[in-house]
Amino acid sequence: MTQAQGATGSNRLTREQFERLVAFAGQLHESAEACAQHQLWQAATILVAESVEAALLGTVVCSEPELRAANAWPSRGDPPQRWSLQMLLDVARRAGWLPKTMSDNVDPAEALGGEIGDAVEFLCEVRNLAAHPGRVIASERLPGFDFADDDQMSQVYRVLDGIAAEVFSKLAGAIQALP
């Protein structure tokens, strides 16, 4: 059992931990905004995605009993703090917080035309391009993507920020619905 788990095996956060995580998500988002204002697009992209990841983590951990009851909690044994962004998104989709209507094989740019659970794939893909240099040269999913193109990235960042805002809204609703 990890230190994050209590005697019952729960991954629940204390109120203080949850508040710290929410504050951290806010700080990450503010840092993303500052980077975008200075046209530091890769950093802005990574930070806005990290803010979404922090918000997802907090919501997932706070909702563990409800997720388990709904069979939306993964069977893997590692704590949510070690889950990838994609794993957190999968849980959020299974929980119904981030509805998805498109297939998993849809192009990330096309996913913007779906529900928030689809659109967040665009955020993940751009984040992966920013964080993993090899993906920039090998990307077939977003060909021609260029972090040095300020006009393109200004528009892309606005889309990413809009996706993040919608995710935050959906997750706030999930937290408010908790007993």
As a whole number, the mean pLDDT across the chain is: 89
Extract the tokens encoding 52: 């979404």
User: Does a structural domain hold residue 77?
Assistant: yes
Is 158 within a domain?
A: yes
Q: Which two tokens stand for residue 159?
A: 């889309």
d(CA 43, CA 138): 20
95: in domain: yes
pLDDT digits (tens, 9 = 90+) for 51-104: 999 999 999 999 999 999 999 999 888 889 899 999 999 999 999 999 999 998
Q: What is the pLDDT of residue 5?
A: 40
Residue 152: Cβ-neighbour burial (10 angstroms; 0-12, 13-18, 19+) = middle
Q: Give the residue numbers spanning the domain of 77.
A: 15-176
- The answer to whether position 50 is within a domain reads yes
The model's pTM: 0.88
Q: Is residue 84 part of a domain?
A: yes
- pLDDT for res 104: 85
Q: Is residue 5 part of a domain?
A: no
48 domain residue, yes or no: yes
Residue 109 in any domain: the answer is yes
Distance CA 114, CA 52 (A): 18
The total number of structural domains that make up the chain: 1
CA of 128: how far to CAs of 29, 43, 49, 125, 134, in Å? Answer: 17, 12, 10, 5, 10
More reliable by pLDDT, 148 or 14: 148
